[in-house]
Amino acid sequence: GAVVSQHPSRVICKSGTSVKIECRSLDFQATTMFWYRQFPKQSLMLMATSNEGSKATYEQGVEKDKFLINHASLTLSTLTVTSAHPEDSSFYICSEKRGADNNEQFFGPGTRLTVL
């Protein structure tokens, strides 16, 4: 069964609004979670590493003030797309890493964001 959930699965919003996406670890206390973005027919692009209890680490080129990440508990990380614009329309996917020696990541089902 699923070990990582995302909510919502789909969201449509107007340009200029903010959208929050939740990523939940269902059976594991994840100190580290990751956020990816994927445009149609393209690969996943890592946006940031979400660390429980501390600030997220953003990849080069990703605006931290536009993509707010909060990892307030070991089972929940949230990504807020602030002042969304049509170019932010994409598939957002989170994942969790389990253990320092386990190289397998578990991915959520993704959230399809459409900004009108």
Partner 1 sequence: LAKTTQPISMDSYEGQEVNITCSHNNIATNDYITWYQQFPSQGPRFIIQGYKTKVTNEVASLFIPADRKSSTLSLPRVSLSDTAVYYCLVVSGGYNKLIFGAGTRLAVHP
Chain residues in the site for partner 1 (CB under 8 A): 4, 32, 34, 36, 43-46, 49, 91, 93-95, 97, 100-101, 103-110, 112
Cβ distance to partner 1 smaller for residue 38 or 70: 38
Q: For residues 69 and 79, what is the distance between their CA atoms, to the nearest angstrom?
A: 5
Numbers of helices and strands, H then E, in the chain: 0, 11
Q: How far is the CB of 29 from partner 1 (least distance, A)?
A: 17
Q: Are 23 and 80 in contact (CB under 8 A)?
A: no
CA-wise closest residue to 30 among 55, 4, 6: 4
Q: How far is the CB of 85 from partner 1 (least distance, A)?
A: 22
Cβ distance to partner 1 smaller for residue 5 or 70: 5
Q: How far is the CB of 86 from partner 1 (least distance, A)?
A: 19
What does the radius of gyration of the chain's CA atoms come to, in whole angstroms? 13
Q: How far is the CB of 73 from partner 1 (least distance, A)?
A: 20
